[in-house]
Structure 1
Amino acid sequence: MDLQISVFLLFILFTAGHSLRCYECISLTGSCAGQKVKTCPGRFSRCLSSTAVDQVDDSSTTIIIKGCAPVCQSASMSIGSSKATISCCDTNECNAQDPPDPTPNRKKCYSCDRQSCTNTLSCSGTEDRCIKATGAYGGQSVVIKGCASKSICDSASLFGVESISCCEGNLCNGAQSVSQSFLFLCCSLLSYFLLH
């Protein structure tokens, strides 16, 4: 009987001692100074670190989110002057650093500005696809074009996104004139990775 109790207590201590710990931060200022470590709930087996940057004229906004995730896939997407990067890991406190800036690759895709979608964008890191996504934001139809990782293209269930099409050839996502919204992209992308 004592052996059974000892084994049970050892099991509880062993499983409690092996819960994943991740840094946690939500920053709209681009800095996670003073980030805290959080013990993840049992079903959360990954640490996530994401950065979204939007450059408009001379102004830049950086959003950083770090925390525990039940499922996470590293991914990157660029749409002209806006970029979102997610990196995932599965060891204690492995998300201390922000996702690294990926190095440019040879892929090129069309992207949009406020007037047209004829701009050419150089992709970077794992962005091996050209993407075109449509959805609704603020009562308006929105189209986004740019570079994306395969894992973004495989995420057809992004919140608020009506359709996503991806292709592998250079400049294969067409050049029709449309509008874009970085906030639409950022909220959709992050909600998918944080909530699924």
Structure 2
Amino acid sequence: MKLCGALIVLMTLSAAYGLRCYTCVNSSPSSCTQVLSCPTGFDRCSSVTASGYVTKSCMPSQLCISPIKCCSGDLCNGAIPTGPSVLLLLLSSAIITFFV
């Protein structure tokens, strides 16, 4: 029961603080680490890359058209993509499971 209460409090706090996105203008992808709390009406995190530079910010969903990439979770326009590391972790776990 205490766990349910804690989850409700955490969900309420995250909704009260709104969406958070990484933000930067014309920087290298690895240096874009500043976090911004999005203002009312800005319900997406955006990221656009041109000529090797990236611009990330909050954006209204109506403006999310190509080549702008948008997402809707907290910090979803991540500073550094983590996809390959997760794949390697799963692969190494599978190998260990089969051979140990």
Q: 1:89 aligns with which of 65, 71, 96?
A: 71
Report how far residue 63 of structure 1 moved: 2.3
Is 1:63 the equivalent of 2:62?
A: no
Name the structure, 1 or 2, with higher relative contact order (CA <8 Å, separation 6+).
Answer: 2
Q: Cα deviation per residue 1:148-195 (whole Å; 9 max; x = unaligned)?
A: xxxxxxxxxxxxxxxxxxxxxxxxxxxxxxxxxxxxxxxxxxxxxxxx
**Structural mapping, 1:133-152, within 5 Å:** none
Q: Gaps spanning 5+ residues in structure 2: where?
A: 1-11, 82-100
Q: Deviations over 1:108-147 (max 9, x none)?
A: xxxxxxxxxxxxxxxxxxxxxxxxxxxxxxxxxxxxxxxx
Deviations 1:78-136 (A, max 9, x none): xxxxxxxx21001110001579xxxxxxxxxxxxxxxxxxxxxxxxxxxxxxxxxxxxx
Query: Could you list the runs of 4 or more consecutive aligned residues of structure 1 that deviate by over 6 angstroms after TM superposition?
Result: none
Per the alignment, in what secondary structure is the counterpart of residue 16 of structure 1? helix
The code of the aligned residue for 2:75 comes to E
Shift of 1:34: 5.1
Q: Structure 1 pair 52/15, CA: closer, same or farther in 2 (3 Å)?
A: same
TM-score (norm 2): 0.55
**1:172 matched to which residue of 2?**
none
Once residues 14 and 48 of structure 1 are traced to their aligned partners in structure 2, the CA distance between those partners, rounded to angstroms, is: 19
Q: Which residue of 1 aligns with 2:49?
A: 51
What per-residue deviation string (whole Å, max 9, x for no partner) do you get for residues 10-32 of structure 1? xx967523x0000011134x334
SS at match of 1:68: strand
Cα pair distance change 1:52/1:97, threshold 3 Å: same
User: Do 1:32 and 1:64's aligned partners in 2 also have CA atoms closer than 8 Å?
Assistant: no
Higher helix share: 2
1:99-114 equivalence runs, <5 A: none
1:107-186 equivalent positions in 2, closer than 5 A: none
Gaps of 5+ in 1: 1-11, 54-61, 77-85, 100-196
Equivalent position of 1:75 in the other structure: 66
Root mean square deviation of aligned Cα: 2.7
Higher strand share: 1
Identical pairs, percent? 36
